[in-house]
Every structure is written in structure tokens, then in C-alpha cells.
Amino acid sequence: MQGEGVYSLGELAVRVGLELRGDPALRVSHVATLARAVEGSLSFLANSRYRKHLGGTHATAVVVAPGDADACPVAAFVDSNPYLAYAYIATLMYPPPAVTAGIHLSAVVAAGASVAPSAAVGPMCVIEAGTVVGERARIGAGCTLLAGARIGDDTELRPRVTLYPEVSIGTRCLLHSGVVIGADGFGFAPDFGAWVKVPQVGSVRIGDDVEIGANTTVDRGAIGDTIVENGVKLDNQIQVGHNVIIGAHTAIAACTGISGSTTIGQRCMIGGMVGFAGHLTIAD
């Protein structure tokens, strides 16, 4: 993918605050892996298993750790955390598109909904009464926001996201396609071989700067709310049960299942396909 701008290495070094070894006038226009890079490419080396590709790379510049700088055959940005430095550079080169405000003619927006004038609502969306959509929010095609849902400023819903009633999403969040927030938790009381549904009367509260991957689901609370705190990152196809609490800045990889009333602390890192039994507490 081509970036949206061409940057000189000198400009990137100043804007990101990096040591540059090489010609500051050289320019990059896109990112690439070490093995596939060509002239104009920016690449990075953060994992030792890819060091074998460094010596033969055709990138214009590579972001490297200090220990790899001398082995880099091209211009180098040197930083103790090359992956983080690369993330800042790539964010400059691939900025999100500007929000084009307005409500598509095919969207259905209830009279009692509040949509900020600077927000964008895509085709075939349904926004029910009592819903609040913040400034510069983006609502992708086919999203459904049920009664009383709230979306903070600068939050983006990719196509086909569903928010159930009274769900609250903070600012600067990103929810990918197929995300469902606030469906009923799995609550059933046994009755001599049958099951009686337990009403799920809580909701879901999601903080600021949260990203939720495609087809991940977060259930509403049975009593009280399910809570996802600020800065949490959830991968694709994760199931978060009712009344779960996920602490700030925790990252959880794909296909993890979290049973109801589990509390996960702050800044945890959870690999793919982890299973949590209910009512557990995981420390920060």
C-alpha cells in the first residue's frame, strides 16, 4: 500500500525524534518488509529471526536497534524500541482519511437521536432514538445503534458493527466489522432439566482509546455493567462474557474466551486461544 505522503529521512527523524545514520535528503513513500523492500521503502528490524534479511535489503531506510545499526547497509533510524519507532513513522505516512461529515440518504436516523454535525454516518445504518454520536465519529455502512447507545468523539465503527441498547463507547475507539457490543450474557437457571432465561439488565461501558477486532463480542452485564477500561486492545474473534472487567491497557489476542464475572487487571498480555473460567481475578 502506498503511503499518502513522501517524507525525507531528515523530516521523519525530527518529527519522531530519532537518531538518523544516513543522508537526510533521501525520501521514502511507503513501508515494506526487509525482504521485499525497494527504493523508496521504509522497513524495520525488531525480531532477531529477520536479521538474516538485513544485509541484503533494498530499502531506502531501516529502523533498527543500536546493536544492529552497524550491520545496516542502508540509511538507519536508530532507536532502542524499533517497533515503536516504526509505528510512529508509519502513522505519519498512513494517516486516517479525513471525516466527510454527513448522513447518507439511505441511513435511518430516529428523530430522538443526536448525531454531531461533524460526524459521518454511512449507507444503510440504523440509529435509534436516544443514541448519541460524538464529534467526528465515523459510522460505517450497515451499522446498527440501538436505543440509548453512546459513541464518543473521534470513534470509528467499521461496517456492520452492532451496539445494543444503552452501550457506551468512549473517545478515539476503533471497532472493526462484525463487532457486537451488549448482546445478552449467557445466563440460564436450571429447572428440572429445562432452562429459564435470567434477564440481562446491565449494559457495557467501554473506555477511551480502545480497539476491538473483527467479530469480537462483549456481552452486557446480568446485573451491573461489563467494563472495558481505557486503552484495551482486543483482537479478532474474542468472547467477553457478562460482567467481565478488563483493566486499562491490557492486550488480548484472538480466539480467547472470558467467562462471566472474570476480572482481568491492568497492562496484562494474553495470548491467543486462552480460556478463562468464570469468577477469576487476574492481577495487574
Whole-angstrom CA distances from 251 to 61, 83, 234, 277 are 30, 16, 6, 18
Question: Which three-class secondary structure state does DSSP give residue 14?
Answer: helix
Nearest to 230 by CA among 214, 206, 212, 252: 206
Backbone angles phi, psi at 89, to 5 degrees: -65, -45
Residue type, 201: V
Task: Judge residue 80's burial from the number of C-beta atoms within 10 Å of its C-beta, 0-12 exposed, 13-18 middle, 19 or more buried.
Answer: exposed
Rounded-to-integer distance, Cα 183 and Cα 204, Å: 9
Rounded-to-integer distance, Cα 228 and Cα 208, Å: 9
Rounded-to-integer distance, Cα 116 and Cα 156, Å: 13
Give yes or no: 242 in active site. Answer: yes
Rounded-to-integer distance, Cα 244 and Cα 279, Å: 9
Rounded-to-integer distance, Cα 94 and Cα 89, Å: 9
Q: Of 53, 104, 242, 279, which is the active-site residue? A: 242
Question: Which three-class secondary structure state does DSSP give residue 32?
Answer: coil
Contact between residue 164 and residue 220 where contact means Cβ atoms under 8 Å apart: yes
Residues annotated catalytic, as ranges: 242
